């Protein structure tokens, strides 16, 4: 049946005056369906749709940016949540006076980056990224939960919103993520093929320009560092925003799985950073918040200590070392028994508990902002020394577990290691659980040996922890760790 013209919609025209005034048409609101972010692993398209939905629903404080395109032409998107901007009509007059001055470009502007704020309050931005490693789906949902909390639940989180600006990149590596969803759930790298070889993909968390050379140059490895620093479109996309926003960044958080730990730099060196106490305080605030929420126990410490290996070219080291952002952490989410992709029933639980910890860390970062002055910091420590010929950033000798990094400052890690004769590789298949049990045993024995010798674990002679028995499933010439623990 054809629609007929309703008489009520036709306005009567009375004389010339009526003809001169065009009817006022209210602006049409675009309706974008909201994907269910809390109970599903969304695909890349749905994630973009959710971001579009939020920009449409909360135009006064949410904006979306495309940072770049991947090899398979997918968008790397960032969402800016900035309650304290002058366009926010919900902001009270008093708060508006104290908000930093900003100039917003028109909504249709193709600016690739949020506006850099100038002035006293410039260090107020929290940057959260996830989805660098394709198979770590739970990191993506947790980042989306942060977005959900700061937008759809903004009244509950108004305290942090009134102090801080948030920029969240929930999916850094969409190509790898889609491949992991559809073809190989255990895929870690991106999907850019290497010319004249059969190998595909680079580990985006080894591709940043900080001691990049120390990473592995073997294309078949899961932690392949790439042809050169920033050779990958994903890392270039993130860099485009990080470099520009560097002066505004207060706290950078990288979400990964699975290790149930909150870690601070350095990854590439076993030396602790100058402000390790503040970083440790920050990490512990998140740990305590999560424990009070549901009793889950996180571990805290430096990356090189907790993963028991040195990792060069990671985004956290880049942000902390090159951009000199005051605070930067990695959060390895809990799914130890469940793998990288816990059942969908766990998504909201892990998301909510993590948000509790992340929010607490954001508050603490704000409180610590005046205590960290990195301008006067001396040069970065040298990279840890690698075994000759190995060329593998993941491979290193056993470093005993440290619980208190205080004494670590005195540890001399620049001493050349004594070459040990190489043993033939023996591959034994073990379950992930067995691997974890093995690591715990190894840590206990290292601690006991350190206590016996009255030395800090870091000061242990290398032979004390020998022989570093190998765990299967990982790579490098050092101790083998389960796949989830290498960031």
Any idea which residues carry the catalytic annotation? Answer: 332
Burial class (CB in 10 A: 0-12, 13-18, 19+), 279: buried
If binding is defined by CB under 5 A, does position 480 make contact with Zn ion?
no
Least distance from C-beta 276 to Zn ion, angstroms? 22
Residue 131 or 395 with smaller CB distance to Zn ion: 131
Which residue is associated with the tokens 């076993």? 270
Least distance from C-beta 475 to Zn ion, angstroms? 15
Per-residue contact string for residues 113-152; x = within reach of Zn ion by CB under 5 A: --------------------x-------------------
In sequence order, what are the residues at sequence separation of 6 or more whose Cβ sits closer than 8 angstroms to the Cβ of residue 21? none
**Residues 75, 81, 83: CA angle, nearest 5 degrees:** 160
Q: How many residues bind Zn ion (CB under 5 A)?
A: 2
Q: Which residue's Cβ lies closest to Zn ion?
A: 256
Residue 100 or 342 with smaller CB distance to Zn ion: 342
Choices 217-225, 252-260, 306-314, 462-470 (CB under 5 A): range interacting with Zn ion: 252-260
Residue 139 or 381 with smaller CB distance to Zn ion: 139
Strand order through the sheet with 165-169: 62-69, 75-81, 165-169, 125-129, 249-257, 327-333, 261-264, 299-302
Within 291-320, which residues bind Zn ion (CB under 5 A)?
A: none
* Cβ contact 296:290 at 8 Å: yes
What DSSP element (H or E) covers 351?
helix 347-368
Least distance from C-beta 256 to Zn ion, angstroms? 3
If binding is defined by CB under 5 A, does position 189 make contact with Zn ion?
no
Least distance from C-beta 340 to Zn ion, angstroms? 9
If binding is defined by CB under 5 A, does position 256 make contact with Zn ion?
yes
**Residues 78, 256, 54: CA angle, nearest 5 degrees:** 30
Burial class (CB in 10 A: 0-12, 13-18, 19+), 390: middle
Least distance from C-beta 259 to Zn ion, angstroms? 9
What is d(CA 292, CA 29) in angstroms, rounded to the nearest whole number? 42
Residue 160 or 483 with smaller CB distance to Zn ion: 483
Residue 133 or 287 with smaller CB distance to Zn ion: 133
What is d(CA 168, CA 253) in angstroms, rounded to the nearest whole number? 10
Within 202-241, which residues bind Zn ion (CB under 5 A)?
A: none
Q: Given the rule CB under 5 A, which residues bind Zn ion?
A: 133, 256
């Amino acid at each position: 049946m054809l629609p007929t013209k309703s008489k009520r919609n036709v306005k009567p025209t009375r004389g010339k005056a009526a003809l001169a005034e065009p009817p006022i048409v209210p602006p049409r609101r675009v309706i974008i369906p909201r994907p269910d972010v809390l109970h599903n692993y969304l695909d890349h398209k749905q994630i973009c749709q959710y971001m579009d939905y939020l920009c449409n629903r909360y135009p006064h404080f949410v904006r979306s940016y495309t940072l770049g395109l991947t090899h398979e032409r997918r968008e790397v998107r960032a969402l800016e949540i900035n309650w304290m901007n002058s366009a926010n009509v919900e902001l009270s007059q008093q708060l508006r006076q104290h908000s930093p001055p900003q100039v917003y470009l028109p909504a249709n502007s193709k600016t690739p980056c949020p506006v850099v704020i100038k002035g006293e309050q410039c260090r107020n931005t929290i940057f959260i990224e996830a989805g660098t490693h394709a198979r770590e789906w739970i990191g993506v949902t947790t980042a989306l939960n942060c977005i959900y909390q700061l937008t759809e639940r903004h009244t509950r989180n108004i305290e942090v919103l009134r102090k801080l600006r948030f920029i969240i990149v929930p999916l850094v590596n969409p190509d790898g993520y889609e491949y992991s969803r559809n073809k190989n759930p255990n895929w870690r790298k991106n999907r850019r093929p290497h010319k004249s070889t059969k190998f595909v993909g680079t580990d985006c968390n080894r591709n940043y320009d900080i001691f990049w050379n120390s990473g592995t140059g073997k294309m078949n490895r899961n932690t392949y560092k790439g042809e050169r620093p920033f050779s990958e479109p994903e890392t270039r996309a993130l860099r485009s925003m990080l470099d520009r926003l560097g002066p505004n960044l207060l706290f950078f958080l990288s979400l990964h799985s699975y290790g149930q730990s909150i870690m601070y730099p350095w990854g590439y060196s076993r030396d602790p950073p100058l402000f390790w106490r503040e970083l440790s305080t920050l990490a512990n605030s998140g740990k305590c918040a999560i424990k009070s929420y549901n009793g889950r126990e996180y571990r805290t410490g430096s990356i090189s200590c907790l993963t028991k290996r040195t990792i060069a070219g990671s985004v956290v080291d880049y942000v902390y070392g090159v951009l000199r952002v005051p605070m930067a952490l990695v959060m390895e989410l809990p799914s130890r028994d469940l793998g990288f992709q816990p059942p969908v029933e766990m998504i909201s639980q892990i998301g909510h508990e993590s948000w509790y910890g992340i929010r607490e860390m954001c508050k603490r970062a704000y409180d610590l902002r005046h205590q960290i002055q990195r301008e006067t910091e001396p040069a970065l420590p040298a990279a840890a020394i690698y075994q000759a010929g190995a060329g593998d950033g993941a491979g290193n000798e056993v470093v005993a577990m440290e619980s208190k990094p205080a004494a670590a400052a005195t540890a001399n890690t620049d001493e050349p290691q004594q070459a040990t004769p190489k043993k033939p590789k023996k591959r034994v298949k073990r379950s992930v659980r067995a691997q974890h049990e093995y690591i715990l045993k190894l840590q206990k024995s290292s601690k006991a040996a350190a206590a016996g010798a009255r030395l800090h674990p870091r000061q242990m002679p290398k032979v004390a922890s020998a022989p570093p028995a190998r765990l299967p499933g990982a790579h490098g010439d050092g101790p083998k760790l389960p796949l989830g623990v290498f960031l």
